[in-house]
Amino acid sequence: MDAIIKAENISKIYGKGETSVKALDDVTISFEKEKMTAIIGASGSGKSTLLNIIGGLDRQADGKVYIGEQEILKLGDKELAKLRAEKIGFVFQFFKLVPELTALENILFPSMIINKKPEKSYVDDLCKKLGIEKRVKHYPSQLSGGQQQRTAIARALINDPDILLCDEPTGNLDGKSGKEVMKLLERMCREMKKTIIIVTHDMNIAKQCDRIITISDGRIADTDLSN
């Protein structure tokens, strides 16, 4: 397997003493390049915690995480922020768009962090692929849930990262919009050669991925191809 992400012996505990909860218990897992992988499990199983750790959003964990050959949990704040901005795009359940910014301004925001000005042709093509090219001057409050999530996906892709990490990306959408978002993510994987990891509790979503990893009580319970 051509792994782009490797997590080795990851453990995470919330709280201390009698009230402590082990969110992840010695998890070792790899993610294949240019594939869609689902991480599935019940609420509280540890799936979102794992996603946050492999994305460098949470560094308070034991173990090691490699993006390519680089171990990320020991990086300094500036180095890690730069790596995330360049190599990883994040898509969340609740979009996390800035309400005071237009869709286009939200999309371009990550590129400003690393002082990168994307080519206009790339931005235009990205918005067209995601079907929001006519909505870029609108504010989030003027967009439907599906349009907001498409905007969030465009924002995640603006720096052309290798990896997209998606936490319940269809969880706040109706059925039709959810299906459309999954089709778009599959296109991004196939056409733009992205590695996509999707946290979900929905097996119907998971089955659309190349591989399903099941987490139960902080441990890998099963990992298999979805088809």
Summarize pLDDT for 90-122 with one digit per residue, the tens: 999 888 999 999 999 999 999 988 888 899 999
Strand partners, 212: 38, 224
Unique residue bearing structure tokens 């992840």: 24
pLDDT, mean of residues 75-95 = 91
pLDDT, mean of residues 53-73 = 94
* Mean pLDDT over the full length of the chain: 92
CA-nearest of 6, 19, 21, 16 to 63 is 6
Q: Is the pLDDT of residue 227 over 60?
A: no
Rounded Cα distance between 147 and 169, Å, is: 12
pLDDT bucket at 8, cuts 50 / 70 / 90: very high
| pTM score, whole prediction | 0.91
pLDDT of residue 114: 82
pLDDT of residue 20: 87
CATH code, 19: 3.40.50.300
Q: At how many degrees (to 10) do helices 145-157 and 120-129 cross?
A: 140
pLDDT bucket at 27, cuts 50 / 70 / 90: very high
How many domains, in total, are found in the chain? 1
Domain interval for residue 59:
3-225
